[in-house]
Amino acid sequence: MTPGAPGPPARRERERPLIERAAEQRGSRRRAPAIHVEHVSKTYELGPIRVRALRDVSLKIARGDFVAIMGSSGSGKSTLMNILGCLDLPSAGRYVIDGTDVRDMDEDDLSDLRNRKIGFVFQSFNLVARTSAVANVELPLAYAGVDRRARRQRAERALASVGMAKRLDHQPSELSGGQQQRVAVARALVTNPTLILADEPTGNLDSHSTEDVLRIFAELNEQRRTVVLITHEPDVAEQAKRVIHLSDGRITEDARRVGVHEPPPAVQRQKSAHGVASEAGR
Ligand code: ADP
Ligand code: MG
């Protein structure tokens, strides 16, 4: 799950799963922000060359917020998302997710966290080829040890929620880009994560599919999930409640557009334009 990570870190004996330990501190955790990044830097060492991808980034994201992270290519967006998703660790600084410092977690804790609490969506969909939509969506549940029947049911429900109920047995090559991304979104939400992290999810989509996928993110946010969406497209960022700009590894702008507890812009529009044929084009 951690592509390109240098060998496994020294592993200490596992006490108890994080999920269990966390349940005991629920009171304090509920008050903690979903995401708390403090003075985080990330430096990649390429032989003699050091690339400073993030420089002293501090950021709090509240539960239920919908945040767009913008910036030109190379500004550090994916590096930040990999840290937020516990796919990579900061070189310096602190990252506290849901009240727990990632430095206090071992590899098993981190993979539990990624599997159960975070849903990832990528620009290139990352579906398994020659494997049906429903089997792709079942995968994270298989890793989590959910039994076969429950797996199938939940995967079907997730696919139905993104308008893909009639494409269960289609393989990725038999689906359009927009449909593939909807399958990928179903895979991200099938574990019922509290945090959705999406890195340029609409980067390979036409405008119609972009709208579909953004509407689904808005709905997920309306269900109180925290959504962090990385994009370099201003009209995509407009769908978020808060827009953060990165430039050369630093936050240069942070603008709140809609309150954390208000519905996201797409849902507000949908409500005012009542009776939209939501199944149109699906
Ligand atoms: P963005 O997603 O905004 O395009 P990235 O976070 O991918 O930016 O990259 C930020 C900077 O870090 C770039 O200069 C990029 O070349 C460099 N970088 C990203 N990943 C690596 C890596 N694994 N090794 C070395 N340099 C990297
Ligand atoms: Mg990127």
**How crowded is the C-beta side of 156, counted as CA atoms within 13 Å?**
8
Which of 125, 214, 119 is CA-nearest to residue 172? Answer: 125
Per-residue pLDDT reduced to its tens digit, 151-165 = 999 999 999 999 999
Nearest CA to ligand 1 atom 22: 44
Q: What average pLDDT does the segment 187-203 reach?
A: 95
In short, whether 231's Cβ falls inside 6 Å of ligand 1 is no
Task: Tell me what pLDDT residue 266 has.
Answer: 79
Q: What average pLDDT does the segment 252-270 reach?
A: 90
Nearest CA to ligand 1 atom 27: 44
The ranges assigned to domains in the chain are 65-93+105-272
Question: Edge-to-edge strand order for the sheet containing 92-97?
Answer: 49-61, 35-46, 92-97, 100-101
Distance 53 CA to ligand 1 centre (A): 6
Confidence of residue 28 (pLDDT cuts 50, 70, 90): low
Indicate the average pLDDT of the chain.
Answer: 88
26 or 226, higher pLDDT: 226
Q: Tokens 């139905």, residue?
A: 160
Type of residue numbered 148:
R
In short, whether 264's Cβ falls inside 6 Å of ligand 1 is no
Q: Which residues contact 73 (CB under 8 A, 6 or more apart)?
A: 232
Q: Are 111 and 102 in contact (CB under 8 A)?
A: no
What is the spatial distance between Cα 62 and Cα 4, in angstroms, rounded to a whole number?
A: 30
Q: Are 41 and 90 in contact (CB under 8 A)?
A: yes
The angle at the Cα of 56, spanning 55 to 60, to the nearest 5 degrees, equals 125
- Strands 226-230 and 66-70, bridge-based pairing: parallel
Q: Are 76 and 43 in contact (CB under 8 A)?
A: no
What is the spatial distance between Cα 282 and Cα 207, in angstroms, rounded to a whole number?
A: 14
Per-residue pLDDT reduced to its tens digit, 42-95 = 999 989 999 999 999 999 999 999 999 999 999 999 999 999 999 999 999 999
Confidence of residue 22 (pLDDT cuts 50, 70, 90): low
Instruction: Report residue 31 CA to chain centroid gap.
Output: 21
Confidence of residue 24 (pLDDT cuts 50, 70, 90): low
For helices 177-189 and 207-222, angle between their N-to-C axes, nearest 10 degrees:
10
At the topology level, CATH places domain 65-93+105-272 in: Rossmann fold (3.40.50)
Mutate to test the pocket of ligand 1, among 45, 50, 77, 79 (most ligand atoms within 8 A of CB): 79
Helix (H), strand (E) at residue 33 = none
Q: Which residues of 31-63 are buried (b: 16+ CB within 10 A; e: fewer)?
A: ebbbbbbeebebeeeeeeeeeebbbebebebeb
What is the spatial distance between Cα 97 and Cα 222, in angstroms, rounded to a whole number?
A: 21
Which of 191, 229, 194 is CA-nearest to residue 213? Answer: 229
